[in-house]
Amino acid sequence: MEVELESIQHTRSHKKTMPGSLIEIYKAHHQHPSNRLMHSIGIPLILISLPLVFFRWRVALMLFIAGWIFQLVGHAIEGNRPAFFKHTVHLFVGPWWLVRRAATAIGLIKAAAPH
């Protein structure tokens, strides 16, 4: 399965194969520090809301909506649309990106070498 990687500047496109390219596509759509911050807040809110729906559905709903608002504000700042609009698999890439980022920050994994 091939996924098209669109540059933020829309100057050209590259084709890469999964799974490594999914993170690269995600990174390409999340360059602005404010967008990354919004996702660092929004993704955990959404993830926390999922199991919470069984115990406190109103709180879960508020967290879920707030999480998506954070992410959409981030994309408005970045000036692009969420990647999952083209490929729904990107709904799962965001949490994976956040886990990798956190693991790198606390030293569990080594930072990727710059290209």
Asked if 4 contacts 15 with a C-beta cutoff of 8 angstroms, the reply is: yes
Digit-by-digit pLDDT tens for the chain (115 residues) are 334 434 333 333 434 444 557 888 888 888 899 988 999 999 999 999 999 999 999 999 999 999 999 999 999 999 998 888 887 888 888 888 888 888 888 988 887 666 5
pLDDT given at position 22: 82
What is the Cα 86 distance to its own chain's centre?
A: 14
Domains identified in the chain, total number: 1
The pTM score is 0.71
Q: Enter the DSSP assignment of 110.
A: P
Rg of the chain, C-alpha, whole Å:
15
Domain contains 111: no
Residue 90, domain extent: 2-105
Q: Enter the DSSP assignment of 85.
A: G
Domain contains 57: yes
